[in-house]
Structure 1
């Protein structure tokens, strides 16, 4: 499923300006009792004026205290801005600041006179630009292509099996990853060092190749070229191999195929196989197939059913009991 991710950021813009207001003849100007004003200067698109204003504080004891108020004013009268200010007083001899005063951001208009001279105008943020994260596409997994090709490279095989008199090669690590039984046989304490090829009994060469095909591809090879009876026979033997090597997924796949291909001639043989290898779902499917009143008589006439009665009479009894319950239910 394709997804996208975007990002935008909103942040206020600021513009800062510093105006140096040098006062010559300070004592003479303060004696006039009027504000000392700077020239107009621009910051953030607005006009500003710095000033010193003489203030006299009168106390009850008759002593007057004279001091100056420093500030900035903005014009024209209709203008408004949000800004913060900073005032630094410079030592004429050293050139260093000996007093710094800052004021937090506030609304300025023509009538306001905050106490600072260095001005930072805070503007409205621009509409943020939306940026897209790069759309990185991951190709589909191709491990299913590499493993089968690996199996075909005979020079890279590191294990050989003798199956029905035929040598079949593979890779020990791949087999051990896919089957706990192969792992124990090839890497466990019971392994036989230097004994090759490893003889595999009771498995047909064609079935063992299908087993290896599943190990390397996690799927079954095409079997359409075989006759139906031959295909079902391979699947029955493959089920036995899946049980032997503890490959549960393959075991389930074989059961599904056998369930889909039940017939009057095969159902009794398949039932015996399912009971022997504890395939409960396949066993129930066989009994349900036999429970059909139109086929039971035909099933009882098959050689497979006769063999089932002789070798596994308890299975026949169990099947007949379930069939009776199915019909009465």
Structure 2
């Protein structure tokens, strides 16, 4: 019995490595006579994807009921370790006299995870011996089998090794340390050191004021009026870190105005979403007035949908918010709300109360 094996050089494809290994069994008849059912001939080890593999050839089959077949298995020796898992695809083929795989004697195994619990894959009925022995593929008592092993890298595991971006943390540290700050904002009696290049990169309004031809571009101290210090502090935090702390509804409203004032679109969306998801009879009038004054269309629509329900409308009428709405909004939004209620509810008693 003689065995001749050769490896075909590996091909590296994106996220995988493939290698072909050829097992040549010289003396097919003698091998079949010497090895009983369940006994195998093992190839020399070969490497694919950083793991060691062998081919196990059972000339009289394995297990017992397969003694009419040749069984063939590919074993991953690296998987003997409990913490090793290897994903691979296999293709097992008998080669003809020209070294070409024979389709009728070719079997493919889809992606399989080799581990200590499942270290090998193959076929117990790979070739029916009687059919092979009457075919032209057994020449000069020699059988040639090719094993293609493709090890697939776990892309998710590769990505997991890449740490998440910490750019926001570094800029947050820069804001907190005040290192390199080249201007200070005065807001409600508090000073806020900042970096004009960071502000200009994040806000078109700050860019025009700090890097443009305006008077503020050369100032080292800038006063911000009509804004509370805690609102400006939250605004700066978002500019540097692209994140906001947990917001209550009142702060979300103030921060939405600030985001609109300095043209920070993502912050506007975050704050508008917060207000849209926390509409109640106590805050709806204030939110609707804010939406109308600053053209926050999504917030306005959410408020109107809330108010067309008669019970919600009555609760808003009973609150102080109704006076705020009628005094701060133009009457177009009041008329729009009136029209919706009439169309959807025909609640004339509510409309009369509203018009008073």
Q: Give TM-score, length-normalised by structure 2.
A: 0.53
Cα distance in 2 for partners of 1:261, 1:130 equals 54
Tell me if 1:274 matches 2:291: yes
Q: Alpha-carbon deviations, 1:45-95, whole Å to 9, x = none?
A: xxxxxxxxxxxxxxxxxxxxxxxxxxxxxxxxxxxx99xxxxxxxxxxxxx
Cα distance in 2 for partners of 1:320, 1:129 equals 72
Long gaps (5+) in structure 2: 1-13, 23-96, 99-143, 347-356
C-alpha displacement at 1:238, in angstroms?
0.6
C-alpha displacement at 1:288, in angstroms?
1.3
Residues paired across the two proteins, number = 216
Aligned to 2:16: 5
SS across alignment from 1:198: strand
Go from structure 1 to structure 2 and tell me whether the alpha carbon gap of 1:193 and 1:4 turns closer, same or farther (over 3 Å shift): closer
Superposition pairs of residues 179-328 of structure 1, within 5 angstroms: 179-223=203-247, 231-311=248-328, 312-327=330-345
Go from structure 1 to structure 2 and tell me whether the alpha carbon gap of 1:303 and 1:5 turns closer, same or farther (over 3 Å shift): same
C-alpha displacement at 1:191, in angstroms?
4.6
Aligned to 2:167: 143
Kept in 2, the 8 Å contact 1:7–1:133? The answer is no
Q: Alpha-carbon deviations, 1:253-272, whole Å to 9, x = none?
A: 11111122222122112111
Go from structure 1 to structure 2 and tell me whether the alpha carbon gap of 1:131 and 1:283 turns closer, same or farther (over 3 Å shift): closer
Q: Which has the higher strand share?
A: 2
Q: How well do the aligned residues superpose, as a CA RMSD in angstroms? A: 3.4
Cα distance in 2 for partners of 1:262, 1:176 equals 34
Go from structure 1 to structure 2 and tell me whether the alpha carbon gap of 1:235 and 1:326 turns closer, same or farther (over 3 Å shift): same
Out of 169, 172, 185, the residue aligned to residue 161 of structure 1 is: 185
Q: Which has the higher helix share?
A: 2
Cα distance in 1 for partners of 2:289, 2:185 equals 29
Go from structure 1 to structure 2 and tell me whether the alpha carbon gap of 1:139 and 1:310 turns closer, same or farther (over 3 Å shift): closer
C-alpha displacement at 1:287, in angstroms?
1.1
Kept in 1, the 8 Å contact 2:187–2:225? The answer is yes
Larger gyration radius, structure 1 or structure 2: 1
Kept in 1, the 8 Å contact 2:288–2:300? The answer is yes
Out of 197, 201, 215, the residue aligned to residue 173 of structure 1 is: 197
Cα distance in 2 for partners of 1:269, 1:129 equals 67
Q: Give TM-score, length-normalised by structure 1.
A: 0.57
Go from structure 1 to structure 2 and tell me whether the alpha carbon gap of 1:281 and 1:8 turns closer, same or farther (over 3 Å shift): same
